[in-house]
A and B are shown apart, each in its own frame.
Chain A
Amino acid sequence: MSIVIRNVSKRFGDFVALDDVSLEVEGGSLTALLGPSGSGKSTLLRIIAGLEWPDQGEVELSGEDATALTPQKRNVGFVFQHYAAFKHMNVRENIAFGLKVRKRPRAEIHERVDRLLQLVQLEAFGHRYPAQLSGGQRQRMALARALAPEPQVLLLDEPFGALDARVRAELREWLRRLHDEVHVTTIFVTHDQAEAMDVASQIAVMNHARIEQVGSPTELYDEPATEFVMSFVGEANRLGSAWVRPHELDVAHQPTEDAVEALIERITPYGFDARIELALGGGEAVTVQMTRERLELLELERGQIVWVRPDRERVFDERGRAPAAATA
């Protein structure tokens, strides 16, 4: 079920939350809205759910205008950062809520709740209350609850933001597998670029109430359309007026053309890669990424003076946009 957002604007008093935002999300896809806090990503998600009204613009769900529909009529599943668990209901009752208010037959509700409990691996916890669950379990319950009425669209607002790192990684992986199984059009909001890259097939990067770029994780990393995307998605170094990714820097012991002098401050090998932190003449910090094999070959050590040269650099114009030829 596709989602189309057309020229949506929203203000809260003097604060502009969304400024003429348009976005298309294909049916069945898994999309991330990525941006720093205050960039408008949560507001956009809440407008899709009907929890917030746009001042201008339209929202289309599966080809039909949904701008004037209440959340009750939109058939979307929404997952909140802080779970929004119904505290006075146990896990089964929480999941059954959307079916009960639709007055579905009891047997059907029972069967569907059983299936969802299995899907979110909470079979043994059906009669527990939210207060008796861990954060990760509560969020899985909230997901099952959102999925119960078979929504056309699943919306998740910083779903893993309140969880610790290990549980977060687990749930990420689990959300991706769930999406492969259930195939519901999913949008999730996050400020964590690693999370967006890890989970989503499409990412919309937001900054200052606008969408900067929409694309696959690889597109955003390799062909950032703006300076903001370059700096926000993946690691980036600034060399003068140009931007360079850490793995696109070449290190040598001898000066070459275009190379700048640098001091090795720290070397951190982990896994397949090594990271080398350098200080340039003016004191600017630069990070280089290379394989450990290459690190050993070059015999780099802390305190050495080396020469770094970008393999590929990107320049953005004064409005922060990439000119068509600059990425060549």
Chain B
Amino acid sequence: MRPATLGSRTRRHVLRWTALAYLLAILVGPLAMVFWRTFENGYDAAWSALTTPETVQAFKLTLLITAIAVPLNTVFGVVCALAIVRRDFPGKGLLNAFVDLPLALSPVVVGLSLFLLYGREGWFGGWLEEHDIQVLFALPAMVLATVFVSLPFVCREVVPTLREIGDEQEQAARTLGASGWQTLRRITLPAIRWAIVYGVVLTTARCLGEYGAVAVVSGRIQGQTETATLRVEERYDSFDVQGAYAISLVLALLAVLVLIAMTVFQRKEETA
């Protein structure tokens, strides 16, 4: 065996173990701690911490917000990606840049900007109050905040796939007599389906875990406008460490499920 090969093998080992140790320290360690602390006082204690009415309501609210935000952002993301890749219009560069804005902006800023728009002193505040519509400290503001922060994912996944497949298949469909709608439904959407699914998974993960923007606009009314992530903090502040860990664990398990889904769909996208 030549020394060069030996050297490169050692280097590879060092690299691999460093990466693993880093992951262990940063990710797996804390998660294992959460797991351990949750079941520290037994399974029953964990279960009863999870099934208090307020906690159940918090999970329901998180799922409801996710169920509204994900479809909205999926439709928007696909339309947006089609516009960016397939169309030419003034302001296209601007749209392309603005889609990424939520990635760059701190969620707290997003929450505050919603305050400026919908608060009592905000642009729409007066009108909303006259018509007796509650946006802040209620579901609408929480959905708006979540939609904003999870906006880019579907679009960002679909854009490169659309670029890669090109528009020849779509042109072929048009010459074969397909209308614009038929081309979209039968050619374009099937070709980008795994990118959409992957984007949906990422969006879902972002919606489930959203904290900052929602924390600002929700008002954190227990049993009403408290999502699962907000509930974790509330339990922790109330010295119910057991409860905080139990909710965290469920959120972590959801994240693992999302991760598995991502791996599966990413592979499909590559082979599609």
Residues of A within 8 A of B (CB): 49-51, 70-72, 74-78, 80, 82, 84-88, 97-98, 101-102, 142, 145-146, 148-149
Contact = CB atoms under 8 A, between A and B. Distances in A.
A72 B171 contact: no
Contacts of B172: 78, 80, 84, 86, 142, 145
B186 interface: yes
A84 B171 contact: yes
Given A50-B175, A71-B174, A86-B173, 17 more contacts: A49-B175, A71-B171, A71-B175, A72-B178, A74-B175, A78-B175, A80-B172, A84-B169, A84-B171, A88-B190, A97-B186, A98-B176, A101-B173, A102-B177, A145-B172, A146-B175, A146-B176
Contacts of B177: 72, 75, 98, 101-102, 149
Nearest to A70: B174
A50 B173 CA distance: 13
B179 A78 contact: no
Nearest to B182: A101
B167 to A, nearest CB: 9
B269 to A, nearest CB: 12
Contacts of A74: 175
B1 interface: no
B175 A51 contact: yes
Contact of A149 (B171, B174, B176, B179): B176
A145 B171 CA distance: 13
B4 interface: no
Contacts of B171: 51, 71, 78, 80, 84
B191 interface: yes
Contacts of A88: 190-191, 272
A77 B175 contact: yes
Interface residues of B, number: 17
B175 A101 contact: no
A102 B178 CA distance: 8
A101 B176 contact: yes
A97 B191 CA distance: 15
B179 A72 contact: yes
A294 B172 CA distance: 53
Contacts of B173: 86, 97, 101
Contacts of B176: 77, 97-98, 101, 145-146, 148-149
Nearest to B193: A88
Interface in B136-182: 168-169, 171-179, 182
A178 to B, nearest CB: 18
Contacts of A50: 174-175
Contacts of B179: 72, 101
Nearest to A98: B176
Contacts of B99: none
Contacts of A149: 176-177
Contacts of A142: 172
Nearest to A77: B175
B187 interface: yes
A319 B123 CA distance: 71
Interface in B43-86: none
B175 A76 contact: yes
A308 to B, nearest CB: 50
Residue among A50, A78, A82, A84 having the largest count of chain B Cβ atoms under 10 Å: A84
A87 B186 contact: no
Contacts of B182: 101
B258 to A, nearest CB: 25
B214 to A, nearest CB: 38
Residue among B174, B187, B190 having the largest count of chain A Cβ atoms under 10 Å: B174
A49 B242 CA distance: 69
15 contacts: A50-B174, A51-B174, A71-B171, A72-B178, A75-B177, A78-B171, A84-B169, A88-B190, A97-B186, A98-B177, A98-B178, A101-B176, A101-B177, A145-B176, A146-B175
Contacts of B272: 87-88
A74 B171 CA distance: 13
Given A88-B190, A88-B191, A80 B174 contact: no
Given A49-B175, A51-B174, A80 B168 contact: yes
A51 B167 CA distance: 11
Contacts of B187: 86
Contacts of A70: 174
B184 to A, nearest CB: 12
A148 B141 CA distance: 54
A78 B176 CA distance: 8
A310 to B, nearest CB: 47
Contacts of A77: 175-176
A298 B153 CA distance: 78
Nearest 7 Cβ contacts at the A-B interface: A98-B176, A84-B168, A84-B172, A78-B175, A71-B174, A101-B178, A88-B190
A59 to B, nearest CB: 14
A101 B186 contact: yes
